[in-house]
Amino acid sequence: MTSFGLLESPVGVIGIESDGTAITRVTWTTSIPASGADTVLSAALEQLGAYFSGDLTTFDVPIDLGRQTPVTRAVLETLYETVGHGESITYGELAARSGTEVPARAIGSIMGANPIPLIVPCHRVVAGDGLGGYSGGAPGEGLATKRWLLEHEGVLPRSLF
């Protein structure tokens, strides 16, 4: 049975989906109604709340990336397993680290296919010459959300205004 939960955060309302054994989706939303929380969903809500309050740097809820190509799965798993809180990696570095021989340009598309942003930290993947893109956050707020998350983790200095 699928459970849905909502978390109000500094970067918008986040919807979290669980199949009872793993987190299967994280998205920004206002339209997913909350339903009875299973233990995995409850843990994810608690951990995301702790992340946003600055009390958690590593998630340990089980995740399920769903159906992905082998290349997409390898890149997302490499990101999840090797790029920690307070770190960033360029698209090219992630391409090389994943061992998939994917061109750096394709990494952006793979980040857009990430069904579990924040927990699988695609916001930590940046361009060699700036932030790059980000499809997370409220509509039209992708880059502002990415900047906030990277500032929150100490990767970027806090904006003065």
Residues involved in catalysis: 122
Long-range pairs, 35-41, Cβ under 8 A, ≥24 = 35/2, 35/3, 35/4, 35/5, 36/3, 37/3, 37/5, 38/1, 38/3, 41/3, 41/4, 41/5, 41/16, 41/17
Q: Could you tell me the two tokens for 49?
A: 């709340």
Residues 3, 22: Cα–Cα separation, whole Å: 11
CA distances in angstroms from 78 to 30, 59, 140, 151, listed in the order given: 30, 15, 28, 23
